[in-house]
């Protein structure tokens, strides 16, 4: 039982850090900063205390709960420790603790630092609640809290001062304010969340439970009833995937994530690397056993649609986002497109896992392995990017160049992370990406495999372009201007580059342990899925051809196909490609630059539409109602009310007492009806 207490503490400690930071700020900045890092570090320590359980998966799952409601159905508040939740909890807590330390250096002197640190701790606690919850209701509470915190962090500079606008450069693309970016994230992800909630309620209607282990155990009984209704399995598949599509920024709800760059640098690392975008991947992996049972135990053909949709969404997103990264000029936005693309790879792995009985362990292990490796190298990339932007006083890679001589430590850390992103052996990005490609080819899904291999080359191209434009070649005119003004770029503070260095070392260690770590993941999922959940898994067929060698050759070939032309173009110090107007390449460039015209459509329909609706409600409906209530209703009603009301001196007092009077009538009426 003591083991479960560590999981409870991991959730509660960051949540307790929120009031502790508030109180500490009233006493001293030092106490506030200490609380801001102490609670996330303590949460990470609790999760690390649970890590040895991965070496003994037979002891899992562990569950601890407190029953909240018992009639007419059971609702509980509880935690579930199994290989999936434990791996996610370790990723979230450890990476978030490192980011929390980095925040102290990055946000030093910011007038809103207390609010920022409180939001970061609430974010960490909410994410740990999401991944450790033992039922879908509690998971959804954490899910929405994470979304709310991300809204506050993305729109942190809500005053919309000009220096915090993103987009552009001016004259090339529109600029966007932080408040608009926060609203965009809230609205787009909220659409998916609302649809997903409908899917959860349908599951509850048929199963009678929201407990995850109960859903798995009883699926053979209730899933046939779900499948008996024509189209219901297809509908539920779409609805349950809508939430993860929004949270993980997958096509077609992917365009909010690049605008999340409006938040401070650590926010980008927190949302894009370790936490929020991983929640969608986690939920897909959580729901997989239900639909796997539906397909391979019950024999419902429609259940395989869940996996097909997942794989295709991942493949399309990986390709589309990579093409957008080819032309982006904002440093953090390049990394944002990269995040969207790499999350797509994870979806491919989880999608192909359920397409055949022999691919369950390989696909699941590959998808989660890539989740872990991506969390480490992308957190490092974003923290390094934050340091570079701090030093260069610009968000555009076209304003940089030659930065490695000013920031040697940051350059080394970012180079290691960038090479890992490309998938160069023997770093973890190579092992995890190749595992996904191999699982995909074993599932015989050739179109998705081709898209994934092409994306490998695109990833290598935009990553090389980014590194070359930031750290190599000649210095930009902007850097020369900084020299004249006496603002020579310099290395970040030890707290900032130290956090980057720790992550870089973690990348190297994980790369060295790559095959062993992959074996550990497969062993855990084998025990959990086949022995605990008793899912039927077939042995992979023997092949006369070495597919592993083929995947490795194609992967390395794709990397070279991307690195060589990118270095030839940008390594010489060119700021960007000059294309002949009207040419095919020019048209493609403009198409990718305009983000496939998906982003303008979403801005017009969802964001502008929401703002116009808000104006309509605020200035037409509410104003009209306000006029009715404050000018006409009090006069009409008070003529027939007790004389005590006439002694009130203001219309607001009239309205207050009239409301109380009407509420009392309603309560008495309802009470009488219930009694009767």
The Cβ of residue 73 has, within 10 Å, a number of other Cβ atoms equal to 10
Could you tell me how many residues make up the chain? 676
Q: Is residue 647 part of a domain?
A: yes
Spatial distance between the Cα atoms of 535 and 347, rounded to a whole number of angstroms: 21
Query: What is the pLDDT confidence band of residue 134, given thresholds at 50, 70 and 90?
Result: very high
Spatial distance between the Cα atoms of 531 and 502, rounded to a whole number of angstroms: 37
| DSSP β-bridge partners for residue 529 | none
Q: At what angle do helices 276-296 and 113-132 cross, to 10 degrees?
A: 10
pLDDT score for 137:
93
Closest CA to 299 of 230, 212, 227: 227
pLDDT score for 639:
46
More confident position, 421 or 615? 421
Let me know whether 522 and 658 are in one domain.
Answer: no
Spatial distance between the Cα atoms of 643 and 268, rounded to a whole number of angstroms: 61
Spatial distance between the Cα atoms of 78 and 476, rounded to a whole number of angstroms: 55
Query: What is the pLDDT confidence band of residue 14, given thresholds at 50, 70 and 90?
Result: very high
More confident position, 75 or 646? 75
Asked if 350 and 363 count as a contact pair (C-beta separation under 8 A), the reply is yes
Average pLDDT value for residue range 33-57: 95
pLDDT score for 623:
63
Q: Is residue 588 part of a domain?
A: no
Domain count, the chain: 2
Let me know whether 497 and 382 are in one domain.
Answer: yes
Closest CA to 262 of 172, 395, 143: 395
pLDDT score for 576:
65
Spatial distance between the Cα atoms of 570 and 187, rounded to a whole number of angstroms: 37
CA quadruple 457, 461, 467, 468: dihedral sign:
positive
Average pLDDT, the chain: 87
Residue 657 pLDDT > 50, yes or no?
A: no
Spatial distance between the Cα atoms of 580 and 585, rounded to a whole number of angstroms: 8
pTM above 0.85, yes or no: yes
pLDDT score for 650:
43
Q: Is residue 580 part of a domain?
A: no
User: What is the CA 171 to chain-centroid distance, rounded?
Assistant: 31
Helical H segments across 326-359, by residue range: 331-353
Q: Is residue 197 part of a domain?
A: yes
Most confident of 111-115, 269-273, 542-546: 111-115
The Cβ of residue 139 has, within 10 Å, a number of other Cβ atoms equal to 23
Last residue of a domain, one of 479, 502, 537: 537
pLDDT score for 666:
53
Asked if 479 and 401 count as a contact pair (C-beta separation under 8 A), the reply is yes
Average pLDDT value for residue range 377-405: 91
Q: Is residue 603 part of a domain?
A: no
pLDDT score for 81:
96
User: What is the CA 437 to chain-centroid distance, rounded?
Assistant: 23
Let me know whether 498 and 620 are in one domain.
Answer: no
Let me know whether 498 and 642 are in one domain.
Answer: no
Average pLDDT value for residue range 10-21: 95
Average pLDDT value for residue range 664-675: 52
pLDDT score for 97:
93
Q: Is residue 592 part of a domain?
A: no
Q: Is residue 570 part of a domain?
A: no
More confident position, 90 or 614? 90
- Strand locations in 421-477 (E): none
Q: Say whether the peptide bond before residue 61 is cis (omega within 30 degrees of 0).
A: yes
Please give the helix or strand (H or E) that residue 141 lies within, else none. Answer: helix 136-154
Radius of gyration of the chain (CA): 27
Last residue of a domain, one of 537, 569, 588: 537
Query: What is the pLDDT confidence band of residue 201, given thresholds at 50, 70 and 90?
Result: very high
pLDDT score for 642:
42
For residue 448, give Cα distances in angstroms to 292, 349, 375, 596: 20, 11, 24, 20
Spatial distance between the Cα atoms of 35 and 49, rounded to a whole number of angstroms: 21
pLDDT score for 633:
46
Query: What is the pLDDT confidence band of residue 401, given thresholds at 50, 70 and 90?
Result: confident
Closest CA to 241 of 291, 294, 309, 191: 309
User: b/e string for 397-424 if b means 16 or more Cβ within 10 A?
Assistant: bbbbbbbbebbebbbbbbebbbbbbbbb
What whole-number percentage of the chain has pLDDT above 70? 88
Q: Is residue 604 part of a domain?
A: no
The CA dihedral of 113, 114, 117, 123, to the nearest 10 degrees, is -120
Spatial distance between the Cα atoms of 676 and 659, rounded to a whole number of angstroms: 26
Last residue of a domain, one of 504, 520, 537: 537
Spatial distance between the Cα atoms of 429 and 363, rounded to a whole number of angstroms: 16
Q: What angle do CA 197, 128, 428 make, to 5 degrees?
A: 105
Spatial distance between the Cα atoms of 150 and 309, rounded to a whole number of angstroms: 27
Q: Which domain holds residue 648?
A: 611-675
Residue 158 pLDDT > 80, yes or no?
A: yes
Let me know whether 524 and 664 are in one domain.
Answer: no
| Residue pLDDT, tens place only, 460-488 | 999 999 999 999 988 888 888 888 888 88
Let me know whether 515 and 625 are in one domain.
Answer: no
The CA dihedral of 157, 158, 163, 168, to the nearest 10 degrees, is 110
| Residue pLDDT, tens place only, 304-339 | 999 999 999 999 999 999 999 999 999 999 999 999
| DSSP β-bridge partners for residue 77 | 66
pLDDT score for 167:
86
pLDDT score for 637:
44
Asked if 103 and 33 count as a contact pair (C-beta separation under 8 A), the reply is no
Spatial distance between the Cα atoms of 595 and 230, rounded to a whole number of angstroms: 38
Spatial distance between the Cα atoms of 316 and 598, rounded to a whole number of angstroms: 14
Query: What is the pLDDT confidence band of residue 113, given thresholds at 50, 70 and 90?
Result: very high
| Residue pLDDT, tens place only, 541-593 | 666 567 888 899 999 999 999 999 999 888 876 666 666 666 778 888 888 88
Let me know whether 372 and 518 are in one domain.
Answer: yes
Residue 674 pLDDT > 50, yes or no?
A: no
Let me know whether 532 and 638 are in one domain.
Answer: no
Stretch among 24-38, 67-81, 405-419, 505-519 having the lowest mean pLDDT: 67-81
Helical H segments across 169-303, by residue range: 178-207, 212-228, 232-247, 265-269, 276-296
The CA dihedral of 559, 563, 564, 566, to the nearest 10 degrees, is 140
């Amino acid at each position: 039982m003591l083991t479960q207490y560590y999981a409870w503490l991991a959730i509660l400690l960051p949540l307790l850090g929120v009031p502790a930071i508030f109180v500490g700020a009233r006493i001293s900045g030092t106490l506030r900063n200490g609380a801001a890092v102490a609670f996330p570090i303590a949460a990470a320590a609790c999760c690390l205390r649970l890590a040895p359980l991965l070496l003994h998966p037979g002891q899992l799952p562990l569950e601890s709960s407190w029953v909240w409601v018992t009639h007419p159905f059971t609702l509980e508040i509880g935690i579930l420790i199994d290989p999936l939740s434990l791996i996610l909890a370790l990723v979230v807590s450890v990476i978030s603790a490192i980011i929390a330390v980095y925040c102290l250096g990055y946000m030093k002197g910011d007038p809103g630092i207390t609010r920022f640190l409180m939001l970061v701790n609430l974010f960490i606690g909410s994410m740990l609640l999401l991944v450790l919850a033992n039922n879908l209701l509690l998971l959804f509470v954490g899910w929405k809290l994470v979304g709310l915190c991300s809204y506050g962090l993305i729109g942190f500079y809500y005053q919309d001062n000009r220096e915090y606008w993103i987009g552009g450069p001016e004259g090339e693309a529109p600029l966007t304010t932080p408040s608009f970016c926060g609203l965009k994230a809230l609205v787009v992800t909220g659409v998916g969340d609302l649809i997903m909630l409908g899917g959860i309620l349908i599951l509850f209607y048929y199963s009678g439970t929201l407990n995850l282990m109960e859903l798995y155990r009883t699926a053979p009984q209730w899933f046939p009833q779900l499948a008996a209704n024509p189209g219901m399995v297809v509908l539920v598949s779409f609805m349950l995937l809508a939430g993860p599509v929004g949270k993980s920024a997958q096509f077609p709800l992917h365009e909010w994530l690049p605008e999340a760059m409006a938040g401070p640098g650590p926010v980008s690392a927190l949302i894009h690397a370790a936490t929020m975008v991983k929640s969608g991947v986690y939920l897909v992996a959580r729901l997989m056993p239900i639909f796997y049972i539906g397909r391979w135990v019950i024999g419902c053909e429609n259940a395989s649609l869940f996996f097909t949709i997942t794989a295709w969404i991942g493949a399309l997103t990986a390709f589309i986002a990579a093409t957008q990264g080819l032309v982006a000029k904002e440093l953090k936005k390049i990394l944002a497109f990269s995040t969207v693309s790499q999350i797509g790879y994870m979806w491919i792995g989880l999608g192909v896992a359920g397409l055949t009985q022999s691919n369950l362990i390989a696909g699941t292990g590959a998808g989660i392995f890539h989740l872990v490796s991506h969390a480490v190298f992308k957190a490092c990339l974003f923290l390094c990017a934050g340091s570079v932007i701090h030093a260069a006083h610009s968000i555009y890679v076209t304003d940089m160049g030659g930065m490695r001589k000013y920031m040697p430590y940051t350059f080394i850390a970012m180079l290691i992370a960038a090479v890992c992103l490309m998938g160069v052996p023997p770093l973890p990005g190579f092992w995890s990406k190749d595992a996904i490609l191999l699982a995909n080819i074993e599932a015989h899904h050739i179109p998705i495999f081709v898209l994934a291999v092409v994306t490998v080359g695109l990833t290598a191209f935009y990553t090389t372009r980014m590194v070359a434009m930031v750290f190599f070649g000649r210095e930009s005119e902007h850097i020369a201007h900084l020299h004249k003004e006496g603002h020579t770029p310099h290395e970040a503070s030890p707290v900032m580059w130290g956090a980057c260095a720790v992550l870089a070392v973690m990348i190297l260690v994980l790369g060295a342990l790559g095959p062993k770590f992959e074996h550990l993941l497969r062993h855990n999922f084998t025990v959990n899925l086949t022995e605990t959940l008793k899912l039927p898994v077939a042995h992979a067929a023997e092949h006369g051809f070495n597919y592993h060698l083929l995947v490795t050759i194609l992967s390395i070939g794709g990397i070279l196909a991307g690195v060589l032309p990118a270095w030839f173009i940008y390594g010489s110090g060119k700021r960007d490609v000059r294309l002949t107007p009207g040419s095919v390449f020019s048209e493609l460039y403009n198409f990718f630059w305009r983000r496939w015209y998906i982003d303008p459509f979403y801005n017009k329909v969802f964001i502008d539409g929401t703002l116009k609706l808000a104006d309509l409600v605020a200035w037409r409906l509410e104003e009209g109602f306000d006029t009715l209530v404050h000018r006409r209703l009090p006069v009409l009603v008070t003529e027939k009310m007790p004389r005590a009301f006439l002694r009130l001196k203001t219309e607001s007092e009239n309205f207050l007492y009239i409301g109380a009077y009407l509420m009392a009538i309603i309560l008495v009426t309802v009470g009488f009806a219930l009694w009767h």
